[in-house]
């Protein structure tokens, strides 16, 4: 029998709260180390009884989590106790635990390759020669905005349709992977990203080029006064450079990108000029601008957010490479604008108060 590398928990009992806390925290650190999760995007949980699970809190950095930060959530109604707010995607995790009694660990990631192919919005058939993922298919739920009841409903429908799968795609958003153990959920998450990379290259004819973000970004410093400080980074990662060479505005294909910068990424042609000047309207704000043949410039009120936009921009441009070549619809300007509005008026205001860093 072929060894798949997907590991099952030997017993069928839920984790103890102490075990779950340790494994959820370990998973966050491993996912960051392997590039499957960045900053606070995504969320992780572990079942601790037939009725509840332990999940990461909203907007806390994985490398600073303690057991006290994790939140116990009831599967039946997603209720919880205490002052710490659980991930806004707790409903998606509850759907998995409610429908799959064998599921003991769930990982929702925003990994690059899988997020990019999620825009295909199709259930992708796979063979055992192509992937170790179980079920013979990578399902994609129907599109719904992040953190909504509709998203939970759509994920539930896909879980019911495909009873043997342990990985699925969320359009324009990311992944949902689970297993009978921490080890299996991690293995499924890794395998989905690996498989997604092969599928991306097959669909586009482009090779995914490894890069080091630090070597492909140049921090330009900051300018402005106390109330309008602007941090600027020039981004020259592979797909960002490719999209900049088009010399055209870029529609939004990734929800995280919409949340940060809005409904479109403008492209400027600076031929004949000595340098690109950051528009005054962008100063003190979150933005991304392609510069023809020169990559992109991102701005944000602080360096941390500027670096976050740089991370997102390469993923956005990789997804756009697939979308533009295959004629796939991007997020509509209305959808992207709504995502941005919610982020700016809810999550980023909480961040300014020191309560949250990102959207999940």
Question: What pTM did the predictor assign?
Answer: 0.91
Q: How far apart are CA 302 and CA 62, in angstroms?
A: 20
Who has greater pLDDT, 286 or 69?
69
Q: What is the reported pLDDT for 201?
A: 97
Q: What is the reported pLDDT for 309?
A: 95
Q: Residue 359: which pLDDT band, with cuts at 50, 70 and 90?
A: very low
Q: Residue 225: which pLDDT band, with cuts at 50, 70 and 90?
A: low
Q: Residue 222: which pLDDT band, with cuts at 50, 70 and 90?
A: confident
Q: How far apart are CA 179 and CA 151, in angstroms?
A: 21
Q: What is the reported pLDDT for 273?
A: 67
Q: What is the mean pLDDT of residues 255-280?
A: 84
Q: What is the reported pLDDT for 230?
A: 87
Q: What is the reported pLDDT for 344?
A: 84
Q: Apex CA 275: angle with CA 272 and CA 276, to 5°?
A: 105
Q: What are phi and psi of 283, to 5 degrees?
A: -70, 130
Tens digit of pLDDT for each residue in 128-143? 989 999 999 999 999 9
Q: Which segment of 132-136, 178-182, 225-229, 280-284 scores lowest on mean pLDDT?
A: 225-229
pLDDT over threshold 90, residue 238: yes
* DSSP type of residue 346: I
User: Domains, the chain, ranges and CATH?
Assistant: 17-204 (3.40.225.10), 213-352 (3.40.225.10)
Residues 6 or more apart in contact with residue 117 via CB below 8 angstroms: 124, 169, 196, 199, 200, 203, 322
Q: What is the mean pLDDT of residues 60-79?
A: 95
pLDDT over threshold 80, residue 39: no
pLDDT over threshold 50, residue 37: yes
Q: Which segment of 24-38, 262-276, 340-354 scores lowest on mean pLDDT?
A: 340-354
Q: How far apart are CA 47 and CA 56, in angstroms?
A: 12
Contact 117, 95 (CB under 8 A): no
Q: What is the reported pLDDT for 141?
A: 98
Q: Residue 184: which pLDDT band, with cuts at 50, 70 and 90?
A: very high
CA-closest candidate to residue 335, choices 222, 257, 239: 257
Q: Residue 189: which pLDDT band, with cuts at 50, 70 and 90?
A: very high
Q: What is the reported pLDDT for 5?
A: 43
Q: What is the mean pLDDT of residues 317-343?
A: 96
Q: What does pLDDT average to over the chain?
A: 90
Tens digit of pLDDT for each residue in 145-159? 999 999 999 999 999
pLDDT over threshold 70, residue 352: no
Q: How far apart are CA 65 and CA 44, in angstroms?
A: 12
Q: What is the reported pLDDT for 1?
A: 27
């Amino acid at each position: 029998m072929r060894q798949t590398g997907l590991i099952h928990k030997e017993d069928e009992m839920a984790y103890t709260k102490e075990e779950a806390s340790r494994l959820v925290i370990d998973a966050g650190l491993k996912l960051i180390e392997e590039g499957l999760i960045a900053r606070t995007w995504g969320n992780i949980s572990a079942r601790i009884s037939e009725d509840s699970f332990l999940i990461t809190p909203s907007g806390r950095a994985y490398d600073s989590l303690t057991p006290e930060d994790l939140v116990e959530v009831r599967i039946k109604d997603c209720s919880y106790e205490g002052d710490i707010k659980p991930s806004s995607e707790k409903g998606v995790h509850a759907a998995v635990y409610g429908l799959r009694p064998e599921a003991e660990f769930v990982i929702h990631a925003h990994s690059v390759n899988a997020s990019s192919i999620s825009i295909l919005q199709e259930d992708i058939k796979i063979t055992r020669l192509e992937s170790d993922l179980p079920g013979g298919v990578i399902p994609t739920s129907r599109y719904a905005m992040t953190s909504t009841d509709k998203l939970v409903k759509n994920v539930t429908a896909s879980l019911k349709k495909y009873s043997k799968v342990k990985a699925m795609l969320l359009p324009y958003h990311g992944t949902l992977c689970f297993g009978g153990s921490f080890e299996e959920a991690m293995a499924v998450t890794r395998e989905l990203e690996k498989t997604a990379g092969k599928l991306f290259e097959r669909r586009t004819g482009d090779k995914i080029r490894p890069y080091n973000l630090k070597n492909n970004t140049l921090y330009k410093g900051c300018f402005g006064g106390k109330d309008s400080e602007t941090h600027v980074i020039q981004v020259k990662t592979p797909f960002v450079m490719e999209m900049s060479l088009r010399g055209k505005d870029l529609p939004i294909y990734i929800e995280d990108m919409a949340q940060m910068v809005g409904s479109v990424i403008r492209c400027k042609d600076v031929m004949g000029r000595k340098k690109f000047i950051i528009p005054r309207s962008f100063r003190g704000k979150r933005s991304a601008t392609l510069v023809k043949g020169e990559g992109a410039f991102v701005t944000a009120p602080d360096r941390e957010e500027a670096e976050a936009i740089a991370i997102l921009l390469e993923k956005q441009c990789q997804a756009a490479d697939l979308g533009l070549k295959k004629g796939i619809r991007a997020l509509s300007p209305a959808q992207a604008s709504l995502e941005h509005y919610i982020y700016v008026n809810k999550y980023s205001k909480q961040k300014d108060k020191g309560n949250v860093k990102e959207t999940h």
